[in-house]
Amino acid sequence: MSNKHQIDENVEAIRQRFGDAFPKTALVLGSGLGPYGDSVSQDAVIPYTDIPHFPQPSVEGHAGRMIIGTVEGTPLVCLQGRMHLYEGHSAQELAIPVRTLKRLGVETLILTNAAGSLDTNMSPGSLMMIEDHINLSGHNPLTGPNDFAFGVRFPDMTEAYDKELRTLLQQAAGECSVKLYSGVYAQLAGPSFETPAEIRMFGIIGANAVGMSTVPETIVARHCGIRVAAVSLITNLAAGLAGHELTHEDTIDVADSAYENVSLLLNTFIAKL
Ligand code: HPA
């Protein structure tokens, strides 16, 4: 079955549960940030298992539910649980959720993730607005025949992270007194963490933080004209900078302890949309 029919069937399944007045803003919750979805005033909760062609998340810290509701009065759809290349999903499968949102009328996509920092000043618990990315995953979700119903064959990525949204994010951070760094996010496929030599190389080529997600969703969103804002929660100093080994449990623990700041920033930002 083609991607197009899969998306039509997803849209149909979601509309049956929620009707037509779908939010124009979507938020993808990264590792450890799932609890934010529970703070949204919820009008509908749709498990991904009820959406026929949604890839299913398999990682601890990723629930797998679409939550439709409001934050500070702004209608919002949350994807509580994201899918990654390292789970075995193809880059093309990762296009399905974003394209489903597009067909439901979403115009703005907020992406969050957990990331390792290449800057020792940007310590665990810090928040970094993504101003640009480097795709080191070896994959692109647009590989294969282009679906011109979504966008052009060779989409521009000059302003992948929307300038106006970046300004609003900075304003929101100022208003709620949350320090917000700004930097370049490099995506690796994972699931192994990087080596110290790789981290030194990524620093040289201009990365400020490193992680295993976000870039596929950004590329798919930009291709179909959705504007993107993205925030990394720094959960650790990258390999070789921390002086200890990296674990996913640390990622989740730091995400838990930084949750208040993330939640404040997201609430303030979303209220501006
Ligand atoms: N590397 C890759 N992905 C990550 C990291 C990291 O150090 N921390 C959280 N996600």
Assess whether the C-beta atom of 85 lies below 6 angstroms from ligand 1.
no
3-271 under CATH 3.40.50.1580, yes or no = yes
Secondary structure in 3-state letters for 204-261: HCCCCEEECCCHHHHHHHHHCCCEEEEEEEEEEECCCCCCCCCCHHHHHHHHHHCHHH
pLDDT at residue 15, as a whole number: 92
pTM to 2 decimals?
0.94
Distance from C-alpha of 184 to C-alpha of 122, rounded to nearest angstrom: 13
Whether the CB of 210 sits within 6 Å of ligand 1: yes
Residue 261 has which token pair?
């700041």
Quick: pLDDT tens for 77-125: 999 988 899 988 888 888 999 999 999 999 999 999 999 999 999 999 9
Counting beta carbons within 10 angstroms of the beta carbon of residue 175, is it exposed (0 to 12), middle (13 to 18) or buried (19 or more)?
middle
What is the distance between the alpha carbons of residues 235 and 252, in angstroms, rounded to a whole number? 8
Domain boundaries, the chain: 3-271
Q: How far apart, in whole angstroms, are the C-alpha atoms of residue 217 and residue 81?
A: 13
**150: which residues sit within 8 A by CB, 6+ positions away?**
99, 102, 223, 224
Percent of the chain with pLDDT over 90: 74
Which of 223, 239, 226 lies closest to 188 in space, CA to CA?
A: 239
- Beta strands 41-47 and 65-71: pairing type? antiparallel
| Residue 169, pLDDT above cutoff 90 | yes
Q: 247 C-alpha vs ligand 1 centroid, how far in Å? A: 9
* Nearest-atom index, ligand 1, CA of 211: 3
Helices (DSSP H) in 113-162: which residue ranges?
none
For range 241-247, the mean pLDDT: 85
117 a catalytic residue: no
Question: Which alpha helices (DSSP H) does the chain contain, by range?
Answer: 3-18, 35-39, 95-103, 163-175, 196-204, 215-223, 248-257, 259-271
Query: Is residue 107 among the annotated active site residues?
Result: no
Dist CA 22 CA 74 (whole Å): 12
For ligand 1, mutation pick of 87, 192, 210, 213 (most atoms within 8 Å of CB): 210
